[in-house]
Amino acid sequence: MRKKLSRKFYNRTSLEVAPDLLGKFLVHMVNGIELVGKIVETEAYMGPLDKAAHSYNNRRTKRTEVMFGPPGYAYVYLIYGMYSCMNIVANKEGKPQAVLIRALEPVSNIEKMALLRYQKGLQACSSKEVTNLTNGPGKLCKAFDITKLDNGTDLLEDNLFLLDSSEKQEFEVVSTTRVGIDYAEEAISYPWRFYIKGNRFVSRK
């Protein structure tokens, strides 16, 4: 039986939620097709005291407003004005923390993912293209058709949500520094990126 992650699961610090998301499944319904990927890499953003977080110093804007709301909602924003990134709001209301989904292992309806990402079928994709299908935050959003329209989505509903694993998984979790935050001063060195050791779909080893 499939079991969605509960509000209680998300109602913890992002540093607790981020590693616990590894091995869980992200699901997005796209035109009646269920796209499924296993989460293999995440990054925690700890809010007001984290210089890498959009909510650093309690910065509250139209873009970051969803981070201040209840946990278990999608925070989707654009980078470079063109690539979507999906985050999951963590911690209780008023504590603006989030977890970035950095990489997925494709699981179900991979053909549709290839069409969305490369505009060609899976059979026409090289081995490298398959590996690169969802091994980055912008890549996975394109392959899963996740856009700014999904910002503010309740992850307990039926369009965009996360599932627990129905089987016990054994893997080693690597904790290391986050990617692409050169502006964040001392926060650059925080070991708040987590990934499944040895998984081929991790964005950066």
pLDDT in tens, 50-59: 999 999 999 9
Cβ distance 146 to 101 under 8 Å? no
Long-range CB contacts for residues 1-8, cutoff 8 Å, separation at least 24 = 1/166, 2/163, 2/166, 3/163, 3/164, 3/166, 4/155, 4/156, 4/161, 4/162, 4/163, 4/164, 5/72, 5/155, 5/161, 5/162, 5/163, 5/164, 6/72, 6/156, 7/70, 7/71, 7/72, 7/156
Q: Which pair of tokens denotes residue 45?
A: 């953003």
Residue 41 has pLDDT above 90, yes or no: yes
The answer to whether residue 203 is domain-embedded is no
Cβ distance 34 to 25 under 8 Å? no
As for how many domains the chain has, the answer is 1
Mean pLDDT in residue range 137-145: 98
Cβ distance 53 to 138 under 8 Å? no
* Residues facing 25 on adjacent strands: 38, 163
Does the pTM of the predicted model rise above 0.85?
yes
Say which CATH number the domain at 60 has.
3.10.300.10
Distances (CA, A) of 4 to 7, 10, 43, 61, 184: 9, 11, 21, 30, 34
pLDDT band at 82 (very low <50, low <70, confident <90, very high): confident
Any residues with CB less than 8 A from the CB of 139 and at least 6 apart, and which? 117, 132, 133
The answer to whether residue 204 is domain-embedded is no
Domain range for 162 is 7-196
The answer to whether residue 1 is domain-embedded is no
Each residue of 108-131: pLDDT tens digit? Answer: 999 999 999 999 999 999 999 999
Residue 1: what pLDDT? 58
